[in-house]
Amino acid sequence: MTSRTEHDALGEVQVPADRLWGAQTQRSRDNFRIGVGREPMPPEIIAAFGILKQAAARANRALLPEKMSEKKAALLEQAAEEVRSGKLAEEFPLVVWQTGSGTQTNMNVNEVLANRVNALAGKTLCHPNDDVNMSQSSNDTFPTALHIAAVTALEDQLIPAVREMAEVLLTLERENEGIVKSGRTHLQDAVPIAFSQEISGWRASLERDLELLRLSLPPLYGLALGGTAVGTGLNAPAGFAERAAEEIAALTGKPFVSEENKFHALTSLDELVFAHGAVKALAADMMKIANDVRWLASGPRCGLGEITIPANEPGSSIMPGKVNPTQCEQVTMVAVQVMGNDAAVGIAASQGNFELNVFLPVVAYNFLQSVRLTAESIRSFTEHCACGIRPVREKMRQNLAASLMTVTALNPHIGYENAARAAQLAHAENLSLKDACVKLGLLTPERFDELFHPEKMI
C-alpha cells in the first residue's frame, strides 16, 4: 500500500495515499485498535457532522467573511453534503472507543473535508483546523452532532415505526370486536375480557410511548455549537451560535436552536438520558406485548392456543413441523439490549467532570443503537407477526367455559365466600360452576342460568 506524508502538531505521519483523512485520523487508527471493523462511530453521527459543518461554513461566511471566503464556503458546503449523504463513508474508519470527547472523530471530519475541498479546488485552499473547524471545538461539535443524530433517528425512524404498529393494532381491535375470552392475572384465570379490549391495551401502550418520545424531543433541539472549548465561546464571533443553529434547522427541517447555557450543554447529557428513558419505556411495552402474543399463541395443542400467528420459518432442526414465535423472540432480545444500553447511557451521563463530559462516543453508540434496533424490530414484528394475528374462537370459547373465575359474576347474588366455595368445589371435583352451585344448594339450575352470562361481564 502506498502512503503519503501528513503532519500535525506532533510531527509527521504516514497516511494511505488513496484516503482523504489526515494525520490525526491516522494516529487514532494506530492508537485505538479496539473493536476495529465491528464498532465504528455510528454513521448517523458522521452524517450529523456533515450537517453541522455545512451550517458552520454558512455562519462563518456571514460573520467572518475575511476568513471564510465565498469560494471556500461553497466548496466546504459541497464536500460536507457528500459527507452527509454517505458518499464518503469509507473515509471515516474510527471506532467508538477513542477519546471521550470525540475529538478524533471531529478531526477525522475536518481532515476529510479539508482534503476534499482542496481536491475540488485543485490547490491547497482549506486547512482542517483553521477553516473547517473555524469557530468550533470538538467539545461543542460532538454533542451538537449527537443531538442532531438523536432527533433525526427518533423522528424519522422510531416514531413512524411505532405509529405504524399502533395503526395495525387498531385495525385488529376493530376486526375482533365481540369476541369474549378468559382474562388472566398472575398467570391465573381471571374474569372475562373482550379480545378487542386486550388488543386495545397493547395499542394504548404504544400511543402513550409515542407521547413520551415526543416529549423528549424539545430538550434535544438545543445545540451546544458556539460554546467551543469550555462553554465561553472563545474564538467564535458574536452571534455564531444562533446563526449556526438557524442554518442547522434550515438544513434538517427540524426546530433546532442554540442552547442558552453552553456550560450545561458541554457537560450534561440529561436530555439524552431522558430521551433514552422513553425508548426504554417503549422497549418494556414491546417486551410485554411480545410475551402476551407468544403465550396466547403457545401450542398448537399443549398451550393456550387462543391465537395464531404467521408461520415464518421452520422452528426446529430435529422436530418436524415445529414453528416458533420467532418475531416475538427478536422483540424481547432487542428489549433486553435497550435496557442494558439504558444503564450505559445513564452511567456515562453521570460522569461529567467540570466543563466536559468525556463519555460522549459511548452514549452516541448506545443511544443510536437502541433507536435503530427498536425501530427495525418493531417494523419487523408489525410486518411478520402483528399483521397476521388471528383469534382461535373455539379455543377462546372453551377456555372461557372452563374458567372458574366467571363465578365472580355471582358475588352480588350469593356472596364472595359462597362463590369461593363453589369455585373450589368445582375445581376439586372437576364440576361445572353450575353443578357446584346446585350441589352446594346455593342456586337452582334455573336461577343459575338466569344470572350467569360471562359474555356480559366485559
- How far CA 236 is from CA of 44, 89, 189, 424, 452, in Å, comes to 26, 29, 67, 78, 78
Query: Distance (Å, rounded) from C-alpha 18 to C-alpha 334?
Result: 39
Query: Distance (Å, rounded) from C-alpha 156 to C-alpha 163?
Result: 11
> Is 200 a residue of the active site?
no
> Is 186 a residue of the active site?
yes
**Residue of 69, 316, 350, 432 marked catalytic:** 316
| Residue 177, burial from CB neighbour count under 10 angstroms (0-12, 13-18, 19+) | exposed
Sign of the four-CA dihedral 128, 260, 277, 202: negative
Q: Tell me which residue has cell 402476551.
A: 292
The residues assigned a catalytic role are 186, 316
